[in-house]
């Protein structure tokens, strides 16, 4: 009997029609039965302020609670100035605090970075990996996912046009499902 894992999908862009949001929605539609992907919005998360550690605003509590309930996390992000968008970094910080009570701790993760450019947001992908090491989020090492050419990737209905890209995303999601199971099994051993 297989278990369906709840995956919090964090989109690093706030724009309603962002390429990364389109990719996240396409991945939700393509996910294998072993994964239930759901976008957890970050736009309402207040700026991190250590003064709120003892009693955070409700929006911060709600976001952190959604991350705590997830079995795993999937980041779908663009690159801003060779790093992660500030709103994504803020969301990561809010759910990691106060120190010792991180909602991210031990959750298997994966990163797919997407951009109109040819390097597929490589810088953001690797900067995010650095933060995930500190947060104790075992990030899936392979397949790496840096996808360029986003401006020509989607149909008017948001589906991925390229057969090669669809095949890659399908394999990425299958590998992520296996990564989640491997990590959860080792935590429970």
Tokens of 105: 């701790």
pLDDT at 1: 44
The model's pTM: 0.96
Domain at 102, CATH number: 3.40.50.360
The total number of structural domains that make up the chain: 1
**pLDDT at residue number 120:** 86
Q: Which residues of the chain have pLDDT under 50?
A: 1
Q: 145: domain range?
A: 5-188
């Amino acid at each position: 009997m297989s278990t369906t894992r709840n995956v919090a999908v964090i989109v690093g862009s706030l724009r309603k029609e962002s390429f990364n949001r389109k990719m996240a929605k396409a991945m939700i539609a393509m996910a294998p039965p072993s994964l239930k992907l759901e976008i957890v919005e970050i736009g309402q998360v207040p700026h991190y302020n250590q003064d709120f550690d003892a009693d955070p605003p409700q929006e911060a509590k709600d976001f952190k609670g959604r991350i705590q309930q997830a079995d795993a996390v999937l980041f779908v992000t663009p690159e801003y100035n060779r790093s992660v968008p500030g709103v994504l970094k803020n969301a990561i910080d809010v759910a990691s605090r106060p120190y010792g009570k991180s909602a991210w701790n031990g959750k298997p993760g994966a990163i797919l970075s997407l951009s109109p450019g040819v390097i597929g947001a490589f810088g953001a992908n690797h900067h995010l990996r650095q933060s995930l090491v500190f947060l104790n989020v075992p990030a899936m090492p392979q397949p790496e996912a840096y996808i360029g050419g986003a401006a020509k990737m989607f149909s008017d209905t948001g589906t991925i046009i390229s057969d090669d890209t669809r095949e890659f995303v399908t394999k990425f999601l299958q590998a992520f499902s296996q990564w989640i199971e491997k990590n959860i099994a080792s935590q429970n051993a």
